[in-house]
Structure formats: C-alpha cells, structure tokens
C-alpha cells in the first residue's frame, strides 16, 4: 500500500532529474554484470509523462531542473556540438510544461547540459550554442568526472578518465563560465572529493554543486567499507564547505554505488528505513554547508532503483522533520531556486 504523503503542501523544486528513452538500447545490453544496468532495464523510458506522474503523486512539486544524462544528442554535425541537441529537446519539454495545460509543475524550468570541458577555450562556442538553444532556461554544465581505477565500481558509467579536476584544458574551459553566469554540476566519487576542492578553490567565481552528497562508495572493491569510510567522506565534505562557491545536492543515495543493504529493485523499503540509512550523510551536509547551500534532489529515475518518487520525498521530509519552516523552505525549494535562478518558481 502506498505511504501517506508527509507535509503535502510543502513546495518542492526538484533540482536533479533526467529524461531519456533507452528502449532501443535495452535489447543490446550485455548480460547484467553491474547493478546500474538494472536501472536502465527498470526505466527504459522516462519522459514528460513519467516525470509528471511522479511529480503529481502527492508531493507539491512546483518546478524541476533537468540535468544532463547524454540523451537526445544531435545525430549529425560537429562532435563538440552534438550535446546541444539535449538542450534543444529539454527546452521543448519545458515549453510544454510552461503552457500550464499539464498541471502546476514547471518541469525543466532550469536546464543543465553537457559540454566537453576537455575542449579548453574552444568550449566557449558550445556554451553559447547551449544558451541560444535553452530559451532562457540554460543554467550550466555537468561533465561527469566520476572515476575509479577499478572499472567494476562504476560499471557502465566507467567512462571518465582520471584527474579531470586538475586538467589544464578543464581549467581553460571554466574560465568561460563566470562571464556567462553558468554553474558547474560535479558528479564524482567520494575518494575524488579532495580533487574537487582544489578545482573549486581555483575558481571562486564559478558556482559549483556537488551531486549526490559526493557519492559515498560501498560496492565492489569498497564493499563492506562504507561505514568506516564515512569519517573520510565527512572530512572531505567539511573541507569543501569552507568554500563559499560550493553547494551540495542531498540525494543520490538510492543508487547502488553506496552499497546500502536492503535496497534495490526487488526490495522496496519504507521511507522510515531510507531515512534511517541516509540521515548520517544528509544531516552532515546540512550541518557543514547550512540550509542556504543544500538542496534535496530526486535523481530520478536513477534513484528509482531503491524506491518510488513519493517514498523518496517522504524519506527526505522525515530527515528534515526537526527543521524550522524557513529551513525546510530552503532545503526543499529556496536554495535550488536561488542557485539555478528560477525566479517565480518557488
């Protein structure tokens, strides 16, 4: 039986979700060797209909931010410009939602796309193309930098090279962000967080956000070590919190990478169980960064690996139960609205 919605009137801006259609790729996936592949099989199609069904399932989701996932790239044209197709697609979805005929949720009110930061100075033309394609909604770039020396840890997402945060080309690319008022989403694994701090310190004028509480790891070669690595994770996040340009997204813990027991497509834990498991990470981030630099995120459909959308937000509301009304307003909508410049959404 579905859970009763906790605090159903609380406005939410979901600052991290995806849209995709991988149905044509599913038959060609290799035999499952990594739990992330179950996510693609579980949600091969997640477009506006699916997003709005989740957003309308009881919680008051007033707006969302789309974050790149490699979907709907251009089939033709220069390689560097192909990711602009993702922004073109999402802007069309956002226009549909903004019409109001699909309900109150302003889906994709902000758009985070992709540009290859390895292009260095040449990235400027790609950024300008995204801005032009975004219809006033384009807010920044995510270049997924998650890497581990053992490719088994990331499985199908093991495509980033090591050391990107220190790359001279990446640094050259980031020099073009502040003048365009663009932010940088960073997805890395917990052992990479010190590299992120060095990058963020080098670019204090670029607003950055750490996705998925820095992605603690607890599978494959890290199996059974997540709890003992917590202290290292917290110290790395504390060092990042010293930098005023760094924010953090509270979520992503429904992915397989942290290695929590009792989660997965075949086990649907309650929001109370999820809140108990996730609270040490989320509460630590709120303590270190403050509510003004923290924002709850769904990371759907990826975190659908662990639970459905209403249960996920119930878990977050349980964790934030002791916060004041103003603190909840910031965590669930205000910080996201300010970071992604979603005036009038929250």
Domains along the chain with CATH numbers: 11-339 (3.20.20.140)
Instruction: Give me the pLDDT at residue 346, please.
Output: 61
Average pLDDT rounded to a whole number, residues 319-346:
94
Instruction: Give me the pLDDT at residue 121, please.
Output: 98
Instruction: Give me the pLDDT at residue 191, please.
Output: 97
Average pLDDT rounded to a whole number, residues 187-208:
98
Average pLDDT rounded to a whole number, residues 78-89:
98
Average pLDDT rounded to a whole number, residues 205-218:
98
Specify the 3-state DSSP secondary structure of 226: helix
Q: Is the pLDDT of residue 102 over 90?
A: yes
Q: What is the mean pLDDT of the chain?
A: 96
Q: How far apart are CA 157 and CA 36, in angstroms?
A: 8
Model pLDDT for residues 296-308, shown as the tens digit of each residue = 999 999 999 999 9
Average pLDDT rounded to a whole number, residues 129-144:
97
Which residues fall within 8 angstroms of residue 179, CB to CB, at 6 or more apart? Answer: none
Q: Is the pLDDT of residue 108 over 90?
A: yes
Q: How far apart are CA 152 and CA 311, in angstroms?
A: 29
pLDDT above 70: percentage of residues in the chain: 99
Instruction: Give me the pLDDT at residue 201, please.
Output: 98
Specify the 3-state DSSP secondary structure of 317: helix
Q: Is the pLDDT of residue 174 over 80?
A: yes
Give the residue among 246, 252, 253, 251 at the shortest CA–CA distance from 290.
Answer: 246
Q: What angle do CA 172, 173, 179 make, to 5 degrees?
A: 105
pLDDT bin (cut points 50, 70, 90) of residue 1 is: confident
Instruction: Give me the pLDDT at residue 255, please.
Output: 96
For 35-74, letters b (16+ CB in 10 Å) and e give: bbbebbeebbebebebbbebbeebbbbbbbbbbbbebbbe
Q: How far apart are CA 63 and CA 17, in angstroms?
A: 11
Residue 103, both tokens: 């309900």
Q: Find out whether 212 and 168 touch, Cβ atoms under 8 Å.
A: no
pLDDT bin (cut points 50, 70, 90) of residue 35 is: confident
Q: Which of 13-17, 19-23, 39-43, 80-84 has the lowest mean pLDDT?
A: 39-43
pLDDT higher for 66 or 158? 66
Which residues fall within 8 angstroms of residue 70, CB to CB, at 6 or more apart? Answer: 83, 86, 114
Look at the alpha carbons of 70, 25, 313, 144 in this order and tell me if their dihedral is positive or negative.
negative
């Amino acid at each position: 039986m579905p859970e009763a919605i906790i605090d159903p009137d609380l406005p939410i801006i979901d600052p991290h979700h995806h849209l995709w259609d991988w149905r044509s790729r599913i038959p060609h996936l290799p035999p499952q060797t990594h739990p992330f592949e179950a996510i693609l099989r579980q949600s091969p199609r997640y477009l506006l209909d699916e997003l709005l069904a989740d957003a309308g399932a009881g919680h008051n989701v007033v707006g969302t931010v789309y974050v790149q996932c490699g979907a709907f790239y251009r089939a033709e044209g220069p390689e560097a410009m192909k990711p602009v197709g993702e922004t073109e697609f999402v802007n069309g979805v956002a226009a549909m939602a903004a019409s109001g005929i699909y309900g109150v949720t302003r889906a994709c009110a902000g758009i985070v796309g992709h540009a290859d930061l390895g292009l260095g100075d040449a990235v400027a033309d790609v950024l300008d193309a995204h801005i032009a394609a975004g219809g006033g909604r384009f807010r920044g770039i995510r270049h997924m930098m998650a890497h581990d020396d053992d490719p088994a840890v990331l499985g199908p997402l093991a495509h980033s090279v090591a050391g990107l945060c220190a790359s001279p080309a990446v640094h050259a690319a980031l020099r073009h962000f502040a003048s365009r008022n663009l932010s940088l989403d960073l997805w890395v694994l917990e052992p990479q967080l010190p590299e992120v701090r060095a990058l963020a310190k080098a670019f204090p004028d670029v607003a950055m956000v750490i996705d998925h509480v820095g992605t603690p790891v607890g599978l494959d070669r890290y199996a059974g070590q997540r709890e003992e690595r917590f202290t290292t994770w917290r110290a790395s996040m504390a060092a990042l919190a010293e930098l005023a340009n760094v924010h953090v997204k509270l979520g992503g813990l429904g992915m397989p990478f942290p290695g929590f027991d009792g989660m997965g497509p075949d086990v649907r834990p309650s929001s109370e169980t999820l809140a108990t498991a996730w609270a040490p990470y989320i509460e630590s981030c709120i303590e270190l960064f403050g509510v003004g630099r923290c924002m709850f995120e769904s990371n759907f459909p990826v975190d659908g690996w662990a639970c459905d959308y209403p249960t996920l937000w119930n878990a977050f509301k349980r964790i934030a139960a002791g916060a004041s009304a103003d603190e909840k307003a910031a965590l669930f909508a205000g910080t996201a609205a300010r970071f992604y410049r979603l005036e009038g959404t929250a």
